[in-house]
Structure 1
Amino acid sequence: MAATDPIHSWMYFLQRDPKFETERVYELRRQKPTKKIPQTNMLLEKVDNIAIHDVRPRLEQCSFGTTGFFLLDMDTGLVAEDFDHREKVIKCFLPQLAAEVKDRLNASRVQIFDYQLRKRNRDFPISNGEVYEYRQPSCLAHVDATPGDIERLRHGLNKGSFERVDNVRCQFVNAWKPLRGPTRDWPLALCDNRSVDPEMDLKICDLVAPDGTSETASVHHSPNQRWCYVKNQMPNEIWVFMQSDSNGRSGVPHSSFPHPDATEEDHLRESIEVRI
């Protein structure tokens, strides 16, 4: 099937500043910065006119082995309001998602350890000075985990039985589901893993919290990167994308973006992301 013309939008990326050749990228989470230690040392740049390709006509070509992502068709039987109730998410949605992911990836075991709701405030991305009730879409290209972070999770999630999973191949997987559709307000874009140069495009970032440090990857923009989305994504369509692999393969950069065809009549973006 012939490729459709891409749309164009913007995202934020980590600047290619020489200081990051010797200085580790970091961000303090839930800690107060000091004069000596700022909240973050990130230097960001807004990159305009990024081509973002609709992969709906070519979904059969998307897989973990190629692009690093695929679209899972899964009817949860839940409506958007159900996801405000933690017990419904835990009892109804997460077990079904775990079973589907286990089957699609032919995994021996699946552990879901976190989920997050996001609901866009109408003022976003302009801050209104208020504290939002829900987290907002991220417009910064990033990867949620590194191969090194997999070892931290493998140990932390399996205390007392670590020896049983010590030498097992592990993958950190993200699942992203819109709660209302069609999704035209700040949809999610994924970067084809084959178009990413890990050595040149990714920088490890320490997320420092009071209870410990985790690793993500900040992303430098490159014209070689191929960004993708699925047009008019519906709530039964769930992105599943690789974020890290214990075999050393890097994850899929991702970011939300303002769709140029979105209107005031479109649903404000509501979504759930699950870390697996």
Structure 2
Amino acid sequence: MTTTTQTQAKFGTTADITIPRGETRSTLTFFAPPPSGETPYNLAGDWQNHPPEGVPKKNYEEFNQEVEIQDIRGRESDFDININGFGTLSGVSSEEKDFNDDEHIKRVYYPEVEKLLLDNVPGAKRIFLFDHTVRRSDPNASRAPVTRAHIDQTTKSATQRVHNHMGGEAEELLKGRVRLINVWRPLNGPVVASPLAYADSRSVPDEDIVPVEHRYPDRTGETAGVKFTPRGRWHYWSGMTNDERILLQCYDSEDGARTPHTAFKDPRTQPDWPGRESIESTLSSKTMAEEGEAAPPVVLFGYDASTFTLKVRLALRIKQIPYAFITVPSMMPRPLLKDTFGLTYRKIPVLAIGKEVYCDTSIIIEALEHFFPESEGYQTLYPTATDGRDYRPMIRGFASYWTDRPLFRVTTGLIPSSVWRTKFGEDRAELIGHKLDAEKLEKKVPENLSRLDMQLSILEPLFANEDTPWIFSASSPSLADISVFYQLSWGSDIAAGRLINNLTGGDASDTETVGATSVFNAKRYPALFTWYTTFQRYIENLPSTETKDPDFSEILEQIKQSPSLGKKSLLLPTPRSSHAELDEKTGLKEGTVVTVAPDDTGRADPTIGTLVMMSPEEAVIKPQPLEKAAKVDVRIHFPRLGFTVRPVDKAML
């Protein structure tokens, strides 16, 4: 593309300039920590030119490394400040033209930028513009483009900056979510020299971001140096014009995305092309709900006879999380979920926290524990043992590999044959992938009772501890207790015929039979039965936090108005980030259209969407648009354990 830029006359360039577009390679400057291991620093202010005697100007090294830099031109909408650490805006006008007078900039440009963020950062409630920096590629300019990879803020400096500028309001502001965002724009676009490069936040791990002290004679500031990582994915926006803005997130108190960035020399830039002029403005955005405002609603979609719905209901009650329960059919179709979220996933329950939708109880439980932590007054589902040990990994494995699988298969084997003769039986046959023979299943009930007896025999010793009534000697009920209880409670009810009407949508009636009492009783398994009744009383004594089947139009409006939860809402914490090399080999890259399906039942009905983000334990997609647009634009979260995630062209492998 060839165009004559508005700055050619100013710089004495008369020839047409071909704006460099597309992927390029350039050498970037990266941080190398001090070999001694001491705190890295550089001298700043008056000390730059007149350092204290015997004090080096800096104690760390920098080195150059060639990297690939991708052009985001034409795919700007693919990037989200909450996910990638940067986002774009186009068609932005400004009354400020010269950018030579600081006071005029503050009077005219500051209000424009503040409104820009209020209008375009989801959930932003208050904006404070701290300062601005004009940079010019001119030897006489006071500030030139920075040519080393860095992040403008660290946790320490961001917190200090809020205190410095907000005074008495700082402590209250810092109780919520605070973000520092850099709004960057050119002044003499299109940019053809010293463009800005920025790394996808997810591609630069925390261990490669190092706080660096800036020591002034009267104070010490801090920014972050960025070490080279081969995983780093760098981007730029070719030929940025004056009406375009890059939003770079420098800090997020919710441990969200943060953006390494640097100016770089494009090898295609010619010596006589105009140097870059730009302005960057640093703003603080308070995006958590203010006092008196509604937090994102927690909404559980399920039905009363659903075994896994019971599991989540118990977790919500123990944690004392207020939520709305919306009843959906026990069988497909479920138009409410499809029309609201574009969700075609077959299994129940589904949990929404605002615009984040979670499928499968394993990830629902982790989301509840993460967003409603013990530190904020909610009871944890992973209490420490009475001896101080942390059994969280064991509890998760116990729930996932035992109760949710083999024990579940046993309890579902106790379902009366009348259920399988209804439309529910046809629906589950479609889910499983083969016909269900009611007569054969009825004959297997005694065999499944025997298997239940075996499971209870294995469980009985877990409840022999006299120090605490809870599994793994926990100080309070954990997910392990929930997992055993919901299976035994549901299994006992279904075997006795008490949930049949709800399960079949009225096609069959409840009955009263002996059920599982011949196996599960106080005489045969006294410790287990005592624990069961103790847990039952514990739950009954807790206040209910459920609002059942409220007006869904009101719930829908609350979901639509929900603020963004930030990067924290996208990926739940894991010990390691996604394995980039393996993801590359399997084709699981951001932006890939993928299918997600359980690895046991329901494989014939995968959920299709665009992969947004992934960790070793979680996949997040934006659902594929259906024939009718969804009412809410959501992201759907699936666990990777128990699910297959594949590019659509490899879905049948």
Residues 30, 228 of structure 2: 8 Å contact kept: yes
Pair 1:67-2:84 in alignment: yes
C-alpha deviation, 1:265, in angstroms: 4.4
1:150 to 121, 135, 158: 158
Q: Say whether 1:181 aligns with 2:189.
A: yes
Correspondent of 1:236 among 232, 236, 243: 243
| Amino acid of the structure 2 residue aligned with 1:15 | A
Residue 37 of structure 1: aligned partner: 55
The offset of 1:87, in angstroms, is 2.9
CA RMSD of aligned residues (A): 1.8
Distance 1:248 1:213 in 2: 23
8 Å CA contact retained: 1:150, 1:170 = no
| Structure 2 residue identity aligned to 1:235 | N
**DSSP-derived class of the 1:151 partner:** helix
Query: Do the aligned partners of residues 110 and 84 (structure 1) sit closer, same or farther apart at CA in structure 2, a change above 3 Å counting?
Result: same
Write the deviation string for residues 102-131 of structure 1: whole angstroms up to 9, x where unpaired. Answer: 22113111111111111112x6xxxxxxxx
Q: Describe the SS at the equivalent of 2:74.
A: helix
Partner of 1:134 in structure 2?
142
Q: What corresponds to 1:95 in structure 2? A: 111
Q: Cα distance, 1:66 vs. partner?
A: 1.6
Rounded to whole Å, the distance in 2 between the matches of 1:5 and 1:76 is 28
Offset of 1:247 from its aligned partner? 1.7
Residues 76 and 230 from structure 1, CA distance in 2 versus in 1: closer, same or farther, beyond 3 angstroms? same
SS in 2 for 1:180: coil
Q: Could you tell me which of 128, 133, 139 is aligned with 1:116?
A: 133
More strand by share: 1
Residues of 1 paired with 2:267 and 2:79: CA distance? 24
Q: Using the alignment, how far apart are the partners of 1:5 and 1:117 within structure 2?
A: 27
| Contact 2:96–2:105, Cα closer than 8 Å, also in 1 | no
Residue pair 1:116, 1:273 contacting (<8 A) in 2 also? yes
- 1, 5, 25: which one aligns with 2:40: 25
Report the AA paired with residue 255 of structure 1: T
Q: Secondary structure of the equivalent of 2:142?
A: coil
Q: Which amino acid aligns with 1:101?
A: L
Q: Where in structure 1 are there 5+ consecutive unaligned residues?
A: 124-131
Q: Equivalents in 2 of 1:66, 1:133: separation in Å?
A: 35
Q: TM-score, normalised by structure 1?
A: 0.88
- Tell me how far 1:262 sits from its aligned partner: 1.3
The aligned length equals 258
1:252 aligns with 2:268: no
Q: Deviations over 1:58-102 (max 9, x none)?
A: 2111111221101122111443xx101223311221110111112
Distance in 2 (alpha carbons) for counterparts of 1:240 and 1:96: 14
Identity of paired residues, percent?
29
Q: Which residue of structure 2 aligns with residue 190 of structure 1?
A: 198
> Alpha-carbon deviation of 1:177?
0.9
Give yes or no for contact 2:88–2:246 (8 Å, CA) kept in 1: yes
Determine the structure 2 residue equivalent to 1:274: 281
What do the CA deviations read for 1:170-229 (whole angstroms, capped 9, x no partner)? 111111111011101101001011111111x11111112234222211011111100000
Query: What TM-score results when the alignment is normalised by the length of structure 2?
Result: 0.38
Is the CA contact (8 Å cut-off) linking 1:187 and 1:269 kept in structure 2? yes
1:207 aligns with 2:225: no
Contact kept, 8 Å, 2:146 with 2:262, in 1: the verdict is: yes
Work out whether residues 193 and 269 of structure 2, in 8 Å CA contact, stay in contact via their aligned partners in 1.
yes
Structure 2 CA distance for aligned equivalents of residues 275 and 8 of structure 1: 29
What is the aligned partner in structure 2 of residue 15 from structure 1? 32
* Aligned counterpart in structure 2 of residue 223 of structure 1, from 226, 230, 244: 230
SS in 2 for 1:84: coil
Does residue 47 (structure 1) correspond to residue 54 (structure 2)? The answer is no
Q: Secondary structure at the match of 2:143?
A: coil
Q: Would the aligned equivalents of 2:85 and 2:258 in 1 still touch at CA under 8 Å? A: yes
Cross-structure match for 1:160: 168
* Equivalent-residue separation in structure 2 for 1:37 and 1:250 (angstroms): 35
Q: Which runs of 5+ in 2 are unaligned?
A: 1-20, 284-653
Distance across 1 between alignment mates of 2:34 and 2:44: 23
**Pairing partner for 1:104 from 112, 120, 133:** 120
CA distance in 1, matches of 2:28, 2:85: 20
Query: 1:34: Cα distance to partner?
Result: 2.8
Does the aligned pair in 2 maintain the 1:146–1:250 contact within 8 Å?
no
